[in-house]
């Protein structure tokens, strides 16, 4: 699929490239492919490539002398972009306890959506989400695919202490807080699975383009999993997918 991209100077060291302002799998695929193309192009230079839902920011280790020439080179690079090969995608299964003791906003959220708690759990755990990018906090997964019936604007007053592992909804997105943090999303559950391990290589096993599904567990199962994770006897479930 062809896109009319917008290229602009971000600062003297950076160029911003923008796709249509939508959350879309085809846009994601285009971004992933171009990002790999850029990494290959700049493999011998210190250049950082960061993506969001619909943009790529290229951060150079040097000041850009001529932005017009560099943008022309980037456009030519995009025109030769090919699909990334031999990079299998995975479907990850994340266990979540949706008990109100673990989801501090679950009851208020369900009332705001005029749904029962069981309906919220069923809809949230039945969907298959796509990982678009990782950011905000190290290991924070930005997910697309939240059912429209679950979308709800962020809280007017953010919480100052959202717990690590909190599963939350904000606007048309859902995500998992990888560490204790302030935040304005509605917390509906919690997972004991760590999303970011700074001493591991890589620190996060998730990649943009992977998919994710939530699995509802009981408080008792949550405690059992927490113990298994502490004793390194738990393996996160995943399967290779063609998507």
Domain boundary assignment for the chain: 6-79, 89-241
**pLDDT at residue 159 greater than cutoff 80:** yes
Q: Give residue 139's pLDDT band: very low, low, confident or very high (50, 70, 90).
A: confident
Q: What is the mean pLDDT of the chain?
A: 92
Distance CA 68, CA 160 (A): 44
pTM of the model: 0.85
Q: What is the pLDDT of residues 67-85, one digit of tens each?
A: 999 999 999 999 888 776 6
Which helix (H) or strand (E) covers residue 79, if one does?
Answer: helix 67-79
Mean pLDDT of 58-70: 94
Q: What is the pLDDT of residues 169-209, one digit of tens each?
A: 999 999 999 999 999 999 999 999 999 988 888 888 999 99
Mean pLDDT of 89-115: 97
Q: What is the CATH class of 89-241? A: mainly beta
Q: Looking at residue 113, what is its pLDDT?
A: 98
Return the C-alpha torsion angle 152, 155, 161, 165, nearest 10.
Answer: 10
Inter-axis angle of helices 25-41 and 67-79, to 10 degrees?
120
Q: For the chain, give the percent of residues with pLDDT over 90.
A: 76
Distance CA 40, CA 35 (A): 9
Q: Do domains 6-79 and 89-241 have the same CATH topology?
A: no
How far, CA to CA in Å, does 219 sit from each of 93, 100, 189? 17, 10, 11
Q: Tell me the pairing of strands 6-11 and 159-162.
A: unpaired
Q: Looking at residue 46, what is its pLDDT?
A: 83
Q: Tell the burial category of 7 from Cβ atoms under 10 Å away from its Cβ (0-12, 13-18, 19+).
A: middle
Distance CA 103, CA 83 (A): 40
CATH number listed for the domain at residues 6-79: 3.30.1360.40
**pLDDT at residue 130 greater than cutoff 70:** yes
Mean pLDDT of 13-33: 93
Cα 207 to the center of its chain, rounded Å: 8
Q: Looking at residue 201, what is its pLDDT?
A: 80
Residue with the bigger pLDDT between 221 and 2: it is: 221
């Amino acid at each position: 699929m062809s896109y009319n991209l917008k290229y602009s100077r971000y600062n003297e060291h950076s160029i911003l490239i923008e796709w249509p302002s939508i959350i879309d799998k085809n846009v994601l695929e285009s971004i992933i492919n171009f990002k790999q193309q850029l990494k290959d192009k700049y493999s011998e230079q210190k250049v950082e490539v960061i993506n969001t839902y619909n943009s790529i920011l290229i951060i150079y280790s040097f000041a850009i002398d001529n932005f017009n020439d560099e943008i022309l080179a980037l456009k030519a690079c995009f025109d030769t972009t090919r699909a990334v090969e031999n990079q299998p995608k995975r479907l990850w299964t994340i266990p979540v306890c949706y008990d109100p003791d673990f989801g501090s906003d679950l009851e208020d959220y369900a009332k705001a959506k005029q749904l029962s708690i069981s309906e919220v759990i069923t809809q949230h755990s039945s969907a298959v989400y796509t990982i678009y990018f990782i950011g905000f906090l190290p290991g924070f997964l930005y997910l697309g695919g939240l059912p429209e019936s679950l979308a709800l604007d962020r809280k007017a007053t953010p919480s100052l202490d959202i717990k690590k592992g909190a599963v939350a909804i904000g606007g048309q997105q859902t995500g998992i807080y990888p560490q204790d943090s302030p935040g304005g999303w509605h917390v509906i559950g919690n997972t004991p699975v760590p999303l970011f391990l700074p001493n591991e290589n890589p620190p996060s096993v998730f990649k943009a383009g992977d998919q994710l599904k939530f699995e509802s567990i009981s408080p008792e199962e949550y405690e059992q999993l927490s113990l298994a994770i502490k004793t390194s006897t738990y393996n996160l479930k995943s399967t290779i997918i063609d998507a």
